[in-house]
Amino acid sequence: MRVASLLRVTALLLTLLPVAAAALDARARRGETIARTNCARCHAIGRVGASPLAEAPPFRDLHRRYPVTDLAEALAEGITTGHPAMPEFRLDPDEAQALIAYLRSLER
């Protein structure tokens, strides 16, 4: 009885994984759009390539400097630091989470 229940729960979880992955992928894709719109003129936002502005770190390297999840509050309140030429901008909380999902996708 216990094994059968465990197998049913496992099967259910396995069927839900693609749905969860698709939601995460959609969020990361939205984050990529946000990055392309707001950040690409200075930062390399993809897996390869140099940043157009030399002092703007490539997004694929940000996780090596600090956990990108720590950026959520700064993105929502308005980033005023970064590289010297970085403009101040603010994202709503959903946009900030989408951008972080995209940044995390670059860690792989």
Domains and CATH numbers, the chain: 2-105 (1.10.760)
Q: Give residue 76's pLDDT.
A: 82
Q: Give residue 80's pLDDT.
A: 62
Residues 6+ apart with CB under 8 A from 9: none
Tell how far CA 84 is from the center of its chain. Answer: 23
Using alpha carbons, select from 103, 106, 105 the residue that is nearest to residue 38.
Answer: 103
81: left (phi over 0), alpha (psi -120 to 50) or beta: beta
Tell how far CA 34 is from the center of its chain. Answer: 10
Full pLDDT tens readout for the chain, 108 residues = 576 665 665 555 555 545 444 455 899 999 999 999 999 999 999 999 999 999 889 999 999 998 999 888 888 887 766 656 777 778 999 999 999 999 999 997
Q: Is pTM beyond 0.75 here? A: no
Q: Rounded CA gap, 69 and 45, in Å?
A: 17
Place of tokens 């939601």: 23
Token pair in block for residue 27: 């969020």
